[in-house]
Structure 1
């Protein structure tokens, strides 16, 4: 894959902070003209550095105050069981993030819900229906200290 230069990295930094910045605004920050900035952004998109643009929503304003962290350990670890688990987890809209882990647990899930009762129903009616879960540990976030969607580049 072709390397990117410092200007491209600066464009990525700016867009991570505010993806609604116009090409003209980015060009002004970088002391460039809009045309090459536009071309660079399109190239970064085409090459996959920029996957998509999203809006970050305030979950508290939407009354989604509960963040649960679930640590899942599977009973069996062959490829078929892992693939099936991953496919089933992807179908659960409540799961915001899922990571396959090395270490004591197999998967780390981040789930956001409106209430503890809603979490209980999620576990009882959806998560517990997934085959091959051996151990499920739940932790609840008391306070969000820091959260970012950007990478340190």
Structure 2
């Protein structure tokens, strides 16, 4: 049995409102066990004896589309992978006044593309570093949405493949 985490993109922001109890029920009804939601931002932990990550991802996305009527996308990880991602955070996660973020993607090439595009941005003090299947981002509090990289990462091109989580949220998922 493997413990997985499904990270939904854009839940409870931008008009897509899902109650976590309903989300938990939907994932359970899709055939997964020991389902738990964490925070109200679309983080779902569950167990499965299946090993076909692409199939699991597709099944959850289909269940979300059917139940909630929106174009659902998730990033799916197993817990050991999530632990490695958290352990590899390259910046000072406890730096006062800064947000430690991790961008995750179902298509890692999109993260490389974002990092390449960011090279032409006037980023000030915010920092980026490509990790194994993720993009680490450290940005001053209050500047997340206004920063050049924040604006880049919010573009429609990345909507179906990427999601962003604060490192503290990822630690809670572990």
Q: TM-score range by the shorter chain?
A: 0.3 to 0.5
TM-score for the superposition, normalised by structure 1: 0.34
Structure having the higher Rg: 1
More strand per residue: 1 or 2? 2
